[in-house]
């Protein structure tokens, strides 16, 4: 998926008539980093890709989504969920184009040791989740907790937050975010 992310980013950047340097200035991400992502030489973390896309601005869902999806669609088969992350983290979103939707619902999976990256994520709205299996370290602002199956969280998303699997087995959870700005 590394090359696909790079191709998508370059396509969006050129469609918006932005140079790599302009996108770097607007997002606060180094020009060399954007160049490496576009070339498929660097697999960005979720937090890094979100930071780059904030310079456009565009959500992760919009970045990975199919802009032509029917907004009246009701049912989604497992294989039709939209993957909006890469690497050791999997975010499988219900629906691709959330531009006219109020909720973003995601099945998340974290491999052991993986997380959203070294930079905290912030966005408008609220989010919550419930752990189905494994363990997940959740940091919101200055608070950190390790959550296990059955545990949950809920917070205002403007607070800096990060997620990481500190365990030796995969962690799976379901999350919801409103509005779907992530």
Whether residue 171 contacts residue 153, with contact meaning beta carbons closer than 8 Å, is answered with: no
Q: Encode pLDDT of 129-149 as tens digits.
A: 999 999 999 999 999 999 999
Cα 59 from Cα 45, distance rounded (Å): 14
- Give tens-digit pLDDT for 75-99: 888 988 888 877 789 999 998 777 7
| Residue position matching structure tokens 């009246």 | 72
- Within a 10 A sphere around the Cβ of 9, how many other Cβ atoms? 22
Is the pLDDT at 182 greater than 90? The verdict is: no
Where along the chain do the CATH 1.10.260.40 domains lie? 2-63
Statement: 2-63 belongs to CATH 1.10.10.10: no
At the fourth CATH level, the homologous superfamily of domain 72-178 is Jelly Rolls (2.60.120.10)
Domain limits, CATH 2.60.120.10, in the chain: 72-178
Cα(20)–Cα(17) distance, integer angstroms: 10
Which H helix or E strand runs over 174? strand 171-178
With a CB cutoff of 8 Å and minimum separation 6, the contacts of 108 are 89, 90, 91, 92, 129, 163, 172, 173, 174, 175
pLDDT at 2: 55
Task: Specify the pTM.
Answer: 0.69
pLDDT band at 157 (very low <50, low <70, confident <90, very high): very high
């Amino acid at each position: 998926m590394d090359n696909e992310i790079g191709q998508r980013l370059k396509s969006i950047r050129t469609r918006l008539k932005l140079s790599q340097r302009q996108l770097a200035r607007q997002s606060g991400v180094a020009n060399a980093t954007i160049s490496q992502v576009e070339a498929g030489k660097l697999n960005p973390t979720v937090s890094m890709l979100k930071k780059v896309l904030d310079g456009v601005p565009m959500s992760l869902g919009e970045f990975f989504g199919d802009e032509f999806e029917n907004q009246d669609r009701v049912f989604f088969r497992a294989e039709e969920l939209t993957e909006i992350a890469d690497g050791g983290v999997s975010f499988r979103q219900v629906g691709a184009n959330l531009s006219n939707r109020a909720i973003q619902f995601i099945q998340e999976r974290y491999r052991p040791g993986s997380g959203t990256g070294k930079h905290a994520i912030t966005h408008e709205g609220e989010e919550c989740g419930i752990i189905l299996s494994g363990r997940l370290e959740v940091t919101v602002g200055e608070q950190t907790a390790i959550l296990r199956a059955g545990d949950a969280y809920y917070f205002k998303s403007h607070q800096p937050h990060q997620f990481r699997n500190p365990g030796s087995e995969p962690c799976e959870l379901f999350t919801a975010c409103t509005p779907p700005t992530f």
